[in-house]
Structure 1
Amino acid sequence: MNIITYEYIDYKSEKFKEAIELRFNVLFKPYGKIDKYDYDEFDKISLHLAVLKDNEVIAYSRMTNLNGEGKITNVVVGYEYTKQGIGVEMLKMHIEEARKQGINNLSLNARIDTVGFYKKVGFNCIGDTFISEKSGLTLQVMNYNLKL
């Protein structure tokens, strides 16, 4: 049927296990810095957004409310589903949810090759780039001000 749906999922669900596999295979495995990536300290307290096609997780992202400051992490879209607006829609949903939660600022760490994508959604670069200890990639801190 090829229906794509966006839904928030529980970190204890089977769909979350699929999301973990997707985020490892796309965000970490290709760079060879880590062999496995399961749960981390933010999974229990974050809002997990999955994109499903025919009940299979094809994209995922999460937002964490850290004392009124929002952090978006693990934005991942399966390779065959990129450039279809899925990532933009996920970010828009996180922005809307952040507004509902009274969050005034969202931040994320973007790979250098994705900075342009985040700028299109309204994120701005903050400060200098840095090397991620987890992935070894060069990242750029980006910010979205919800007060504007």
Structure 2
Amino acid sequence: MFTTEIKLFSELTLNELYASLRLRSEVFVVEQDCVYQDVDNKDSYALHVLGKKDGEIVAYTRIFDSGKYFDNPSIGRVVVAQDERKYGYGHQILEASIEAIYSNFGKQDIEISAQCYLKKFYNSHGFSQIGEEYLEDGIPHIRMIKSQS
């Protein structure tokens, strides 16, 4: 059974922190063959959305209030373990992240920096592209907004 939990950095257990960082590294560094600094000193002021299956972290995001990453609240480091992607956990963790932003920071626009190949995924959750494609850590990205207006 898949469940989500939202925690402050200080509320994460050592095991949850380790599992989250390991999952991020497995996907963003190893699977995507992208050498970059994932541990970026922003985790301490993010809310962490943990997607757990049978108690193990298989999906993760971090969310920020306005001004901490973008002008609007934002969602980042959206990740699902490779062998768990066929179950729709990406959709579930993203929906939980959107709801966490609304409940913690109020209902307002949400801004993300999305990998281009995931544009359709984010479109299905109400995000629209703004601006042109750009490279982030050598990977094509686009800025997207989920507008409340």
TM-score w.r.t. the length of structure 2 is: 0.85
1:92 is aligned to 95
Q: Does 1:31 align with 2:36?
A: no
| Number of matched pairs | 142
Give 1:1-148 correspondences, 5 Å limit: 3-11=1-9, 12-13=12-13, 14-34=15-35, 37=38, 39-67=39-67, 69-100=72-103, 101-132=105-136, 135-145=137-147, 147-148=148-149
Structure 1 position 25, deviation (Å):
0.8
Q: Is the 2:7–2:48 contact (alpha carbons within 8 Å) kept by the matching residues of 1?
A: yes
TM-score w.r.t. the length of structure 1 is: 0.86
1:90-144 Cα offsets, whole Å, 9 max, x none, are 2222222222222511111111111110001110001001001xx3101011111
1:34-75 Cα offsets, whole Å, 9 max, x none, are 1763x3222011110111112111010111113472111000
| C-alpha spacing 1:124/1:35, structure 2 compared with 1 (3 Å) | closer
Structure 1 position 86, deviation (Å):
1.3
SS in 1 for 2:131: coil
Q: Structure 2: how far apart are the matches of 1:56 and 1:17? A: 12
Q: Structure 2: how far apart are the matches of 1:124 and 1:55? A: 34
The one-letter code sitting in structure 2 at the alignment partner of 1:16 is: L
How well do the aligned residues superpose, as a CA RMSD in angstroms? 1.9
Q: Structure 1: how far apart are the matches of 2:96 and 2:32? A: 29
Q: Is the 2:8–2:46 contact (alpha carbons within 8 Å) kept by the matching residues of 1?
A: no
SS in 2 for 1:122: coil
The one-letter code sitting in structure 2 at the alignment partner of 1:18 is: A
The one-letter code sitting in structure 1 at the alignment partner of 2:64 is: T
Q: Structure 1: how far apart are the matches of 2:61 and 2:107? A: 17
Identity %: 25
| Larger displacement relative to structure 2 (105-114 or 65-74) | 65-74
